[in-house]
A = this chain, B = another copy of it.
Amino acid sequence: ARPRVGYFYAGKKTSEIFGEQLRKMLVKDHKAVPVVISENATVYDAIVAMFVEDVGNLSVVKDHGILAGVISRKDLLKVAIGKQETQSVPVSLVMTRMPNVITVTGEDNVYNAARKLVENAVDSLPVVKVLDAERKQYEVIGRFTKTTVTKIFVELGSNREI
């Protein structure tokens, strides 16, 4: 029997074709450049960096770019409306700290990376290169964010028959 038009293709549903395509697309080919700040920086420095770089999240790093934590606009806003001076509070005091940071590697596929964003209710994931898995030593090499996903979505959707 002939498959129903618009639905089956070689026995696969349209949604299956899409699911397979997203699993072939790797984070390393779509990630944004990393935006990092030293763990010795203050909350004020982090806020300025967010405005200068126009991002909503920063990776906080130790020496040699090793991931120490992440900080979001929400974390910074919390300090900004509090009683403490943003210039006297170090980012390391308000960041989400390793090993509690959700990360992806460049070899992860974009479907799994997007799923991590949704399941953990975060806007951004550091893309890392694992230096020492046991000691959780990760080097930050990029960002994978909801903006990244939205750009892929638009790119994939932009082709069609006119």
CA distance A125 to B78 in the complex (A): 24
Q: Mark A73-85, 1 if CB is under 8 A from B, else 0.
A: 1101110110000
CA distance A51 to B82 in the complex (A): 13
* A40 contacts chain B at the CB level, 8 A cutoff: no
Task: Tally A residues with Cβ within 8 Å of B.
Answer: 49
Q: Are B154 and A118 in contact (CB under 8 A)?
A: yes
Q: Are A114 and B156 in contact (CB under 8 A)?
A: no
Q: Are A156 and B115 in contact (CB under 8 A)?
A: no
Contacts A18-B159, A22-B153, A81-B86 supplied; 5 other A-B pairs, CB < 8 Å: A15-B160, A19-B156, A76-B77, A115-B157, A149-B153
